[in-house]
Structure 1
Amino acid sequence: MAQRTTDTMRWTAADLDLLPDDGSRYEIVAGELLVSRAPHWGHQKACVRLCAALDAWSTATELGEASIAPGVLFGESDNVIPDVVWVSRGRLEVILDAAGHLTAAPELVVEVLSPGADNERRDRDLKLRLYSARGVREYWLVDWRAQQVEVYRREQASLALAATLLAGDTLTSPLLPGFAYPVAGIFA
């Protein structure tokens, strides 16, 4: 699972090109290198189910697109691979570069927690602050072990916890008119 490097150096986007193509996921947040191994089956199922629901809604409404694990290149020291994103059609045209990476914040970012203190710190602290600073409008933090979803929404200039949804609740969003998905369906 994700681990902090013990180096004190500041990593950049150029450094990512020098890392091995070994199946690990390499991300940089505030110059800190984060390395993740292949996630648990439950983690991946939650990603697939949420992306499928967002994709079906997007296809029906033609309002945007959902994707699993896209590269988001915010700058030289902030390059991440969120588990799932949703981007409106108009915004996608502006922020998608020729290499197929997002170069600015998608409206919605979903991260599914992996076990371990470093992983929790990465998603609850580092990435929450990054997404907040970069203009993400909504952040869903999914805990497949506890079967709950924390919904953070932009209030003024930052993301704030708006709701903690449990298995009996339904996931909705003002960003996604008419979207409704049972939280239990994420974990079924």
Structure 2
Amino acid sequence: MVANLNPKHHWTIADLAFFPDNDHRYEIIAGELYVTRAPHWKHQNAINNLGTYLTLWAKQHQQGKVLTTPGLIFSGEDNVIPDLVWISDELLATAVDESGHFTAAPELVVEVLSQTPRDIMRDRQVKLKLYSRVGVRDYWIIDWQQQRIELYRRSQAHLEQVSTLFIEDQLTSPLFPDFTLAVADIFS
């Protein structure tokens, strides 16, 4: 949901210091404030399952880190908390500020759709535009209710949808050589 605390206010990261420390997730995209609550357990289950498989791949291949709900601060007006990211070791060495937040786009960003139409629009449109602008290479949108994954991949200077995977499909990515995961395993 978008906060209507002051619809004409242009929010920045400095404003976040005045918000309560609670179970809400505060994100700012293009100066607009988005507030979400703790997600459904099936949302968390999908991200935990995917995170486990990607972490196993990363450890086996000694490549990068998989992190859930990291802070990404691209500018004072673009501050988001995706559900999961994968970042290469090379990028990790230069992409973190003193507070441990990422200041550069990780190679992979994953969002699991929430249940409200406004949250779904944010992930499919607003965040897609942001992640495209800042240089994310792969963006995966997981729909736990429909049990499918939309895959976006960088082509030229922006992210384009390359496929939609369903429960019977296999998930692969050029980012992860030798990685194959049954989509069904994400939702089990």
TM-score bracket relative to the smaller structure: over 0.9
How far 1:96 moved relative to its partner?
Answer: 1.6
Identity of matched residues, %: 50
Given residue 108 of structure 2, which amino acid in structure 1 is its aligned partner? L
Structure 2 unpaired stretches of 5+: none
How far 1:186 moved relative to its partner?
Answer: 0.5
State the match for 1:49 in structure 2. Answer: 49
State the alpha-carbon separation in 1 of the partners of residues 100 and 120 from structure 2.
Answer: 28
Q: Which runs of 4+ in 1 moved over 3 A?
A: none
- 1:153 and 2:153 aligned: yes
How far 1:100 moved relative to its partner?
Answer: 1.2
How far 1:179 moved relative to its partner?
Answer: 1.1
TM-score computed with the length of structure 2 as normaliser:
0.97
TM-score computed with the length of structure 1 as normaliser:
0.97
- 1:166 and 2:184 aligned: no
Structure 1 unpaired stretches of 5+: none
State the alpha-carbon separation in 2 of the partners of residues 78 and 69 from structure 1.
Answer: 15
State the match for 2:20 in structure 1. Answer: 20
Q: Residues 92-103 of structure 1 correspond to what in structure 2 (within 5 A)?
A: 92-103=92-103
Q: Residues 64-83 of structure 1 correspond to what in structure 2 (within 5 A)?
A: 64-83=64-83
State the match for 2:2 in structure 1. Answer: 4
Q: What is the root-mean-square deviation of aligned Cα atoms in Å?
A: 0.7
How far 1:4 moved relative to its partner?
Answer: 0.9
State the match for 1:107 in structure 2. Answer: 107
State the SS of the aligned residue for 2:168.
coil
How far 1:63 moved relative to its partner?
Answer: 1.2
State the alpha-carbon separation in 1 of the partners of residues 36 and 3 from structure 2.
Answer: 11
Given residue 159 of structure 1, which amino acid in structure 2 is its aligned partner? L
State the match for 2:123 in structure 1. Answer: 123
State the alpha-carbon separation in 1 of the partners of residues 45 and 160 from structure 2.
Answer: 26
State the SS of the aligned residue for 1:10.
coil
How far 1:125 moved relative to its partner?
Answer: 0.5
State the SS of the aligned residue for 2:93.
helix
State the alpha-carbon separation in 1 of the partners of residues 8 and 52 from structure 2.
Answer: 39
Deviates more, 1:127-136 or 1:4-13: 4-13
State the alpha-carbon separation in 2 of the partners of residues 22 and 68 from structure 1.
Answer: 18
State the alpha-carbon separation in 1 of the partners of residues 175 and 22 from structure 2.
Answer: 37
State the alpha-carbon separation in 2 of the partners of residues 178 and 105 from structure 1.
Answer: 23
Given residue 5 of structure 1, which amino acid in structure 2 is its aligned partner? A
Q: Aligned pair count?
A: 186
How far 1:98 moved relative to its partner?
Answer: 2.2
